[in-house]
Amino acid sequence: MNVSHLEFTIAEDPPNRLDKALFRDAPEAEDLSRTRLVRLIGQGAVTINGDVATNPNARVRAGVIVKIRLEVAVETATLAQNIPLEVVYEDSHLIVINKPAGMVVHPAPGSPSGTLVNALLHHCADSLSGIGGEKRPGIVHRIDKDTTGLLVVAKNDKAHHALAKQFATHEVERLYQAVCFGYPDVSEPRLGGLRGVSFEPGAILKVTTQLARHKIDRQRQAVLFEGGRHAITRVKVRKTFGSPNTASLVDCWLETGRTHQIRVHMAHIGHGLIGDPVYGGNRKIAKKSISEEAFSLIKSFARQALHAAVLGFKHPESDEKLRFNVEIPTDMQGLLSVLQGSTS
């Protein structure tokens, strides 16, 4: 096993926990997150003045000498593949990608290759300094295989930890655009009486529920009000199509980021996404409400009409606020164009 040894001295006025003190004083070039430092303490890889440290909560005084045994980042067993990527932004700490439809984010049973991770291993190559001791991209969040749009990926342990913290504390701006069945009208009595639904200024509909795996179909998520994980989505209608309103273009803001969250919440309020094979439902559409072309395209749209359009966060190194915006992809643009043409 390849290892290296890091040595440094705790500076004046250290924080009151060992892990925090190590995080503050360890050389920045090592990109050691607090999470990894806690793990290293647990592995017996940290010594203080020659004694093995075992408690990340322990106090430490200024002037002591710290030695940390580090495993050199090893090459991952995951295959690097030369797959084209649309890079929106990249530096030595992170990369922002506009993911296409049909691409899985991470290798898994059934999708061992052709994923975003496979592509990033090739694209980033030597710029990956290691996540948890392995040279691999740090996946901070995911979007579904057939959802398009923005993803940020960390290139080192420190950036991974800092970005993950922003997602955990809901500091990241995430705006999705979707095309749904019907018109989520905030003045509709049915919505006003639906559990988990409330309204905010600016005609914004707020959905607050718990989400968990469906008891029978483990590939689905289900809305709960006890147990599960807390989930909040905000929805605002941008445009409606058809007469009466057959479909709508909506903005969806994620406060939390649970699996399938937007898709499940839109189905919960009775406005599943067009093309969604799991939650969209077989909604009946009056043929006279839209053109035959629009009717046919809605029925045949090949994926959930969902796009991660805006992503905003603080840079993990400079603390600068970064905000990215990518246009709706061609297939959704085509759907919106046909729907617009069918609206009188």
Question: Can you state the angle between helices 330-341 and 292-300, rounded to 10 degrees?
Answer: 150
Give residue for tokens 């749209």. 301
The rounded distance, in Å, linking the Cα atoms of 110 and 113 is 9
Asked if 144 is an active-site residue, the reply is: yes
Residue from 198, 171, 142, 325 nearest 255 by CA: 171
Give residue for tokens 């980021």. 257
Q: Residues 19, 144, 146, 157: which is the catalytic one? A: 144
3-state secondary structure of 207: strand
3-state secondary structure of 90: strand
The rounded distance, in Å, linking the Cα atoms of 296 and 278 is 19
3-state secondary structure of 166: helix
Parallel, antiparallel, or unpaired: how do β-strands 134-135 and 74-75 relate? Answer: parallel
DSSP structure class, residue 57: T
Residues 6+ apart with CB under 8 A from 96: 87, 88, 89, 90, 150, 151, 152, 153, 311, 322, 324
Planar angle of CA 280, 221, 273, nearest 5 degrees = 20
Do you know the residue count of the chain?
Answer: 344
Instruction: Write out the catalytic residue numbers.
Output: 144
